[in-house]
Chain A
Amino acid sequence: EDQVTQSPEALRLQEGESSSLNCSYTVSGLRGLFWYRQDPGKGPEFLFTLYSAGEEKEKERLKATLTKKESFLHITAPKPEDSATYLCAVPREGDSSYKLIFGSGTRLLVRP
């Protein structure tokens, strides 16, 4: 069964303390992996798309990487405004690729 698992469920960091979030998946024939940021009371905001193993994308303090079985979201020197829930998602195989399988998310809290 297609699955996406994120870890840790929650992460508390001090401002400036770098760390990584993990997203592992079991879908074969990956058509892409997507990272979203979700703030309380808002919809998921599209961050990155990764399509192939070895690919990396960066945006400000965030860097996403992809291997054949997992993706990492690295946060360098985080600030309190980086606090949010980070979701990853992959499309199902075949004709149902519009169906995104979402992980349960990592709730990140960055303390000043």
Chain B
Amino acid sequence: DAGVIQSPRHEVTEMGQEVTLRCKPISGHNSLFWYRQTMMRGLELLIYFNNNVPIDDSGMPEDRFSAKMPNASFSTLKIQPSEPRDSAVYFCASSPQGRTYEQYFGPGTRLTVT
């Protein structure tokens, strides 16, 4: 079975530009998570969806960040406008019903904002 799929794998953009990261969760999983990983702060949960509905977005840094999940097989994380401090690796993870803590991670998108 395919794991979590993320695109693009690498993104380099200039400050002020809009960035959209994409994720396809594992088929049949009903929970989806967006994380950010940096050397300084480790893995941070940004937002959690259950059955396509955002349940907890308390980790979203500020209004520049937004996430959507229009259907069970697709989610986006958008940053507008982007800033250099947004540079990080962004991971998407999914988990099966009833086991939200059993999270399977995608390969990540390395974002560099110059």
Same complex: yes
Known: A98-B31, A99-B45, A102-B43. A43 touches B101 (CB 8 A): no
- Cβ–Cβ contact A104 & B105, under 8 A: no
Majority-rule SS of B interface residues: strand
Q: Which residues of A contact B74 (CB under 8 A)?
A: none
Provide a sorted-by-A list of 25 A–B residue pairs whose CB atoms are within 8 angstroms: A31-B101, A34-B101, A34-B102, A41-B108, A42-B107, A42-B108, A43-B4, A43-B106, A43-B107, A44-B43, A44-B91, A46-B103, A46-B104, A46-B105, A49-B102, A87-B43, A91-B100, A98-B55, A98-B56, A100-B43, A100-B101, A100-B103, A102-B43, A104-B42, A105-B42
Q: Which residues of B contact A67 (CB under 8 A)?
A: none
Q: Is B34 in contact with chain A by the CB < 8 A criterion?
A: no
- Cβ–Cβ contact A91 & B101, under 8 A: yes
State A99–B103 Cα separation when bound (angstroms).
10
- Cβ < 8 Å to B, chain A residues 67-112: 87, 91, 96-100, 102, 104-105
- Cβ–Cβ contact B108 & A43, under 8 A: yes
State A32–B100 Cα separation when bound (angstroms).
11
Q: Which residues of B contact A97 (CB under 8 A)?
A: 100-101
Query: Size of chain B's interface in residues, with CB distance under 8 A?
Result: 22
- Cβ–Cβ contact A43 & B42, under 8 A: no
Q: Is A45 in contact with chain B by the CB < 8 A criterion?
A: yes
- A71 nearest CB across to chain B (Å): 15
Contact of A98 among B101, B106, B108 (CB under 8 A): B101
- Cβ–Cβ contact A43 & B100, under 8 A: no
